[in-house]
Structure 1
Amino acid sequence: MKTDNRLKRSGSFWLIVLVVMQLLFLTGIVLFHYSALWVGKEIRLQTTPVDPRDQLYGDYVQLNYKINNANWSMWKDAEHKAERGDTVYVLLQENGSGGFYEIKGVYPSKPSHASGEVLLKGRVQYANDETIRIHYGLEQYYVAENTGKSLEDRARSGDLVVDVKTAPWGSTVIERIEP
C-alpha cells in the first residue's frame, strides 16, 4: 500500500516536471524572438516591395532590400565561396546619408564588430558570378487589409523605409514601415 502511494506521488512529480520544462522551453522561444525588440539596435533599410496576397493571412508586402544583394568584393573568405543554403553573417555600417545601413562585409562565420556596426545573420539564396543573394527573414511584412497596394505605390516612388531592431547576436524583427 505504501509503495503504491509513493509510485503515484513519484509519477505526479515527473508529470509536473515535464509540464514545467515544456512551458519553460516555449517561453524561451518567445523571449528569444522578442528580445530583439527589447535590447536590439534600430537600423534603417531601403526597400523595393511588391504586393502579393495570402489567402490565409491577407495582405503582405514582399520586401527587397539593397542589402539582399552583396558583391563578391564584400565576401571575406579567400578559401571558400558561398553556396546556396550557407549561413552567412553580414556586417552593416551606417552610410551617413539618411541614416541607412549598407553592407561592409559578408562572412562565413560570426566576426567581431565595432560599436557603430550591426551584424545580421542570413542564408544564401543563390550566388552567381557577380553577386551573392542573401535572405534575412525580413522579406515579408503583413499589413492591414487593402493597404499593401498603397505601400507598393509609395515604394516605387522611393518613399518606403523599414526600421528594423537587431539584437547583438543577429536576431532581427521589423519594427515598422515608414512610407
Structure 2
Amino acid sequence: MINKPMGNKRRMLLLLIVVMVQVLFLSGIAGSYYAVGWFGTEIKIKTIPVDPRDFLYGDYVTLSYEISVLKPSLWKESGDKPDEGERVYVALKPAANGIYEAVGVYRSKPAVSPDQAVLQAIVAYSWEESIHVLYGMERYYVPEGTGKELENQASNMIVRVKIASWGQARISGLEAMK
C-alpha cells in the first residue's frame, strides 16, 4: 500500500508532462504563424486572382502569381530540372517598380543579398519550356461579398507577402497596382 500513492504521483506527473508537451507544440505552431507577421520581410508580387467563392469558408480569391511559371534558364543547379513534388527555393529580387521577380531556382536554400528574398515552393510540374511551382499561398480569404469585386480588378492586383527568415511565408494583403 505504501507504493500505491507513489505510483499515482508518477502517473499524474507523466500525464502533466504529456499535456504540457501538447500545449507547447500547439503554441509553437500558432506562434510561428504570428512570428512571420512580426519578423518577416514584406515583398510584393504581381498576381491574377480568380474563382471567388467557397460554400464552407466564404469568399476567397485563388491567386496565380507571375513567379509561379519559371523559365528553365532560372534553374541554377547542375543536373536535371526538378521533379514534380520536389521542394525548391525561388530567389526573388525587386524590379524598379518594387515588385519582386524570380532570379533563380535552387534545390537548397541559397544565400542571397539583403535586398533579395527566398520563397519555398513545391514543383507542380516541369517541362522543357517552364517550371511550374506552388508557394502554398494560392488561396486568400477575403471579407464576405468582396470576392467578385476582386475578380473584376484581377489585371491590376499585387499581393503583399511577409517572408520569415526561416522560409515561412504568408499573405499580408492585396492591393491595386499603381
TM-score by length of 1: 0.95
3-state DSSP class of the match of 2:50? Answer: coil
How many Å separate the matches in 1 of 2:31 and 2:128?
A: 40
Q: Percent identity?
A: 42
Aligned to 1:152: 151
Contact 1:51 1:59 in 2 (8 A): no
The two structures, once aligned, show a CA RMSD in angstroms of: 1.0
Code of the aligned partner of 2:105:
V
Q: How does 1:1-179 map to 2 (within 5 A)?
A: 1-97=1-97, 99-155=98-154, 158-179=155-176
Shift of 1:80: 2.4
How many Å separate the matches in 2 of 1:79 and 1:159?
A: 38
Contact 1:161 1:177 in 2 (8 A): yes
1:16-50 deviation line (CA, Å, top 9, x unaligned) = 00000000011111112221111000000111111
Shift of 1:51: 2.2
Tell me whether 36-45 or 24-33 shows the greater mean CA deviation: 24-33
1:124-159 deviation line (CA, Å, top 9, x unaligned) = 00112100001001110011222111101111xx32
3-state DSSP class of the match of 2:148? Answer: helix
3-state DSSP class of the match of 2:59? Answer: strand
How many Å separate the matches in 2 of 1:177 and 1:2?
A: 66
TM-score by length of 2: 0.96
Shift of 1:166: 0.4
Structure 2 residue runs without a partner (length 5+): none
